[in-house]
Structure 1
Amino acid sequence: MKKILVMIGIIAAAVSSCSDYIEEDSRSYVPADATYKTASGFQLLVNTNYAWLKGIYGGNPWLFEAGTDMYAEGRTPEPAGLSQYALLIPSSDNVGDLYNSCYQQIQAVNKTVYYSTITEQTPNLNTLVGEARYLRANAYFLLVQTYGGVPIVLDNITTPVLSFTRNTAEEVYTQIIADLDFALANVGTTAYGTTGRVNKRAVNDLLAKVYLTRGYETFAKADDFSKAAAYADAAIAGQGLNIPFNQLFVTTASGDNDLNAETIFSVQYDKASTSTDPTKLGNNQFYYFSSYLGGAETGAPLRSYNLCPTDYALGLYEKGDARWNATFMTEILEGPETTNGVTKTILYYPYYRSSNPATLKVRHFYEPKWFTPADKAAYMTTNASRLASTFVYHPWGEYSAAHTLIKNLDCYTIPVKKFDDANPTTPSSTGPVSTRDIIVARLGETYLVAAEAYLKAGNPGTGLDRLNEVRRRAGVANATLAQFNIDYILDERGRELLGEYKRWFDLKRTGTLVARASAHNYKIKEANFIGVDGKLKILRPIPQSALDLNQNKDFPQNPGY
């Protein structure tokens, strides 16, 4: 644990594209104590709290998405323990990713809270502390969902601490809510897109998720679901879902729409601030949820060929759902591009960069589930002049993760395009690097949180209204009260939030992880979850490295390990 929780200094990195508000500023040549006792130095300390979000969300998303019903292994192996459970042990690859990064976040906030008592007292001091405590609450929320009870550490640690006691999950939730209550009373109300900082809306949104999740636990309070519904409605604040879905994640040569009016909180990146070391200061989100597209040799973006959509995920969409074409690259285009006087045929990127898209050829087309033979014939006839000489028509059922067992070729899994970066900072040969923001909370999800909370609180009519607002924006028919249950909500969350770092938590929260993963992920059987003493591997194991460093050997491991 000492590697996790010892203070590791200031990150000199900007975390907001609103660079006027959260700026990069290295003060390593000034003693920390003297710097943080000034108003400007304390502001920089708070800024580093935001920077730690990159460590939590910017790398591999295995702990968020692997081993679920929505995504499965393609050609590239995923960490076997996290993606398939049978081999999941405390020393498995990537098990400690959130444990380490969340405690780094927590330590940064603890330092902020400590200096808030001795720094220059200013009118906005509690606002800044409220922002920091929101970030600490978010880190503990990720930890308690993933690992169960963990040590609650609130001190500013400046010397190695070698022994920690495990708190219960119930105690962790109490601490999370205490932090968020303080934050709600103190943070500002200015729109997130203006400041890039935690505001009351973000706090209400996280409180809704915390109460909703605790409501499923054995130690739940009787009013957890009703509180979750109330906080979700406070975050919604009467705002409809009025931005077309295909504009929420739009990326163009002139910029992105990440800070739109429906973004509640995000991990922000700025291209200028990452240019000094883009492979470390950018993020990897766009790299997953697709097949390998050919990479540098075709000019296509580098993709990993894992966390590929399952047949279940792809089959969630019905005809007319705007989210289908907004989420997936249903046609892969090719076209000529000239660089340094050399012209070659480029794959995929011409979709974003061509000034005359009508002239581009279609290399791959992925048939949606609802296509009939007549639909296929119409597509082929209508687009005959657009089809490349190497055109491939992918019938329904032949481009999911499982299809790689039959045909293991580039572009044989449909790419998820919602995280694409039309302006990568480095060529695809350099590695998986994007400077697009990672959206952690947005209004569409808040409506679905409200829907679930109202259902669980015994008010399904209001819950259905919240869910149907999401479906209205998608352009599909309202769900009925007879359809409205947890499974339907999980399906709707799948359609709305595909790839957005939510799915493992959704299945774990609702108690459906074993049934849904084993039903829809071709790599997983129910028996995979059975661990030591017949206990199910629902929580991830406490990392072995943390246990080894902890001199308190009376620190229990999770069931099944």
Structure 2
Amino acid sequence: MKKIIVIIGLLVTTLNSCSDFIDEDNRSYGSAEQYFITAPGFESLVNTNYATLKDVYGGDPWLFEAGTDMYSEGRNQEPEGLAKYLTLSSASAGVDQLYRTCYSSIQQANKGLYYSTITEKASTLDTRIGELKFLRANAYFLLVQTYGGVPVVLENINTAVTSFDRNSAEEVYTQILKDLNEALPAVATGAYTGRVNKRAVQNLLAKVYLTRGYETFGTPADFTTAAALADQVINGQALAVSFDNVVKPGNEMNAETIFSVQFSIASNATGTTSLGSSQNYWFSSYLGAAAAGTPYPNRSYTLCPTVYALSLYEKGDKRWEGTFMNEIYSRYYDYYDVADKSGLKITDFYEPSWFTVDDRTTWNTANASRKANAATFRYHNWGTYSSAAASGGDYNLIPVRKFDDPKAPYSGATSMNFNTTPFTPATNRSSTRDFIISRLGETYLIAAEAYFKAGNSATALDRLNEVRKRAGGGVAGVIPVLTAIDINTILDERGRELLGEYHRWFDLKRTGTLVQRTVLYNPKVTSANAFNGQNGLLKILRPIPQAALDLNRSKNYPQNPAY
């Protein structure tokens, strides 16, 4: 295969640090090349690899969450193509995000692996090589799920190359598995500290095998392997952290976190609204800075939960209050800043789906003294605050609180015009909360899906019901134990557990339910015809970005056939 590289801003040599242990600091050497062949220099280079995750996951969420059953456009505009499919093309806004950021990550990993062969030997060298291979595999996994076959680039390339060929999706999966299986015996085996460890590798391997099992080149053994790997990650660990503490700001390094992107206030000091994560920005309604207290990050009012997403939660499910701010205090962040909330006044209450008329009366009577102002207090009846009703005022949508960051600086008002070319993302990356990529609750659900696909429904139900037990406060039966399972049962549970956690589009695409469930539950995509593409094919894979096609001189790089 000819030497290849993607050149749409992918050659990145310096990135901002991810955390205190990820700092690139060259004080003693005249060039990066000289520095990287020293033990401290190579360590710095590996740390820079971790920093690439900030751009992969910290920016806009469209390729992860838009155009699904869980979210639809609210008061503000989503990228039309990615959200509604009908106009989706290679030039659509946001299509190139993962192509750019993942190849930047791959290029950095290739550089690190190149220097690993010539740098000073250190006791951590083999461990760092394993970490680099994990990071490269993670980037390729995102790419192959999103675009299908892409170029497999394994060389450290320092000069622009304008001709590259596509590898098949099967070849990309082969490379991903090769990297992860080589990383597995090399990385550290201890508890998670922010660096890739054995458990993180096993977890990603489980998800890769699960996803490959659905492909035409997958085999039933992929599901069996995925289930075994997921159980190795679980290793008898119960879901003992309450859901509220799993999503609590500042508690991202809890016992159930498997891998995350490390952010910190110090590393964002030079770009307080551009170097962090934007996850706190997208999944809620704008309430106004004055109403919320200071500091307060602007909310986008863009990705809004659908009626389906809100109706997933049952009475007794602790994930309802853990995911949504169903009571809003006069000062929004008093929820986090005030220990004793009994004296706080509330301005809004969002009624859950299970409330009856009697429940409504009971709540209003019991909480009469808590209402900030009887004349202006807003009681939001069930059915009045989903994405279908989110085009009105600031409080017409229930806020998603699980990504709140009370320490984030105000990011300022932004306007987004997705019709401009090139589209420039809004500057809203103000959160310094670690971005959790994988956690134990999802691993149980990976195991459930893998066992189900392997034909072992009984064990699949066991794994899924463990997630439901924790959702009921750790007490079995608070929410019903499920006795039957299918793919929709699994997707419903993933929706409850993982709302907004950058998995949903991949979940629907993997399971072959993207068209069916989006049309069924997304009010902005009402016909399967929106997915119709060229050559009688559906727009399931995203198109290869037009910029990559324009820069490529190879004739062996076709666009995805639906485009």
- The TM-score bracket by the shorter chain reads over 0.9
Distance verdict in 2 for CA 1:384–1:95, change over 3 Å: same
Aligned residue identity for 1:513: L
For residues 1-12 of structure 1, what are the structure 2 equivalents within 5 Å? 2-4=6-8, 7-11=11-15
CA deviation string 1:525-558 (max 9, x = no partner): 2111001132100000000000001111331111
CA distance in 1, matches of 2:82, 2:115: 38
Is the alpha carbon distance of 1:486 and 1:123 closer, same or farther for their aligned partners in structure 2, counting shifts above 3 Å? Answer: same
Q: Does 1:434 align with 2:418?
A: no
Alpha-carbon offset, residue 480 of structure 1: 3.3
- Structure 1: how far apart are the matches of 2:248 and 2:284? 18
- Corresponding residue number in structure 2 for 1:546: 548
Pairwise CA distance, 1:560: 1.5
Are residue 330 (structure 1) and residue 326 (structure 2) matched? yes
Partner of 1:148: 148
Which residue of the partner structure matches residue 18 of structure 2?
15
8 Å contact from structure 2 (residues 190, 197) kept in 1: yes
Amino acid corresponding to residue 17 of structure 2 in structure 1: A
List gaps (5 residues or longer) in structure 2: 415-426, 473-477
Deviation track 1:298-323 (CA, whole Å, cap 9, x = no partner) reads 53541100111000000000000010
Give runs of aligned pairs for residues 155-554 of structure 1, distance below 5 A. Answer: 155-192=155-192, 195-251=193-249, 256-295=250-289, 299=293, 300-334=296-330, 347-354=331-338, 356-389=340-373, 390-404=376-390, 408-426=392-410, 432=428, 433-475=430-472, 476-481=478-483, 483-524=484-525, 525-554=527-556
Matched, 1:558 2:560: yes
Decide which moves more: 287-296 or 85-94. Answer: 287-296
User: Kindly tell me: are residues 76 and 28 of structure 1, through their superposed partners in 2, closer, same or farther at Cα, counting changes over 3 Å?
Assistant: farther
Aligned to 1:53: 53
Give, in angstroms, the shift of residue 27 of structure 1.
Answer: 5.6
Contact 1:292 1:304 in 2 (8 A): yes
Secondary structure in 2 matching 1:82: helix
Instruction: Name 1:344's counterpart in structure 2.
Output: none
Give the secondary-structure state (helix, strand or coil) at the position aligned to 2:359.
Answer: helix
Cα displacement (A) at 1:170: 0.2
Equivalent pair of 2:314/2:479 in contact (CA under 8 Å): no
Work out whether residues 365 and 394 of structure 1, in 8 Å CA contact, stay in contact via their aligned partners in 2. Answer: yes
SS state at 1:393 partner:
strand
Q: How many residues align?
A: 536
Name the SS for the 2:455 alignment partner. Answer: coil
Give the conservation status (yes or no) of the 8 Å contact 1:311–1:520.
yes
Residue 349 of structure 2 aligns to a residue in which SS?
A: strand
Structure 2 counterpart SS, 1:493: helix
Give the Å deviation of 1:23. Answer: 3.0
Matched-pair contact (CA < 8 Å) for 1:64–1:504: yes
**Shift of residue 458, structure 1, vs aligned partner:** 1.1
8 Å contact 1:127–1:187 — kept in the other structure? yes
How far the C-alpha of 1:239 sits from its partner, in A, is 0.6
Checking the alignment, whether the CA contact within 8 Å between 1:165 and 1:555 is kept in structure 2 is yes
Q: TM-score, normalised by structure 1?
A: 0.93
What does the per-residue CA deviation read over 1:415-465, in whole Å, with 9 as the maximum and x for residues that have no partner? Answer: 110000021134656963110011000000000000000010111111111
SS at match of 1:388: coil
Q: Distance in 2 between matches of 1:479 and 1:558?
A: 43
What does residue 421 of structure 2 align with? Answer: none
Decide whether aligned partners of structure 1 residues 27 and 412 sit closer, same or farther in structure 2, where only a CA change above 3 A counts.
farther
Deviation at 1:350, TM superposition (A): 2.1
Give the whole-Å Cα distance in 1 for the aligned partners of 2:28 and 2:58: 24
Two-structure CA RMSD over aligned residues (Å): 1.6
SS at match of 2:390: helix
Residues 458 and 124 of structure 1, relative CA distance in 2, 3 Å threshold: same
SS at match of 1:112: helix
Structure 1 residues 27 and 223: alpha-carbon distance in aligned structure 2, compared to 1, 3 A threshold: farther
Alpha-carbon offset, residue 288 of structure 1:
1.2
Residue 24 of structure 1: CA displacement?
Answer: 4.6
Q: What is the CA-CA distance between 1:2 and the residue it aligns to?
A: 4.7
Contact map agreement 2:71 2:387 (CA 8 A) in 1: yes
Deviation at 1:49, TM superposition (A): 0.5
Q: Identity percentage over the alignment?
A: 59
Residue 359 of structure 1 aligns to a residue in which SS?
Answer: coil
Using structure 2 for the length normalisation, give the TM-score.
0.93
CA contact (8 A) 2:105 2:139 kept: yes
CA contact (8 A) 1:109 1:136 kept: yes
**Per-residue deviation, 1:51:** 0.2
8 Å CA contact 2:465, 2:482 repeated in 1:
no
Letter in 2 for 1:83: A
Q: Provide the secondary structure at the position in 1 that maps to 2:397.
A: coil
Paired letter, 1:219: F
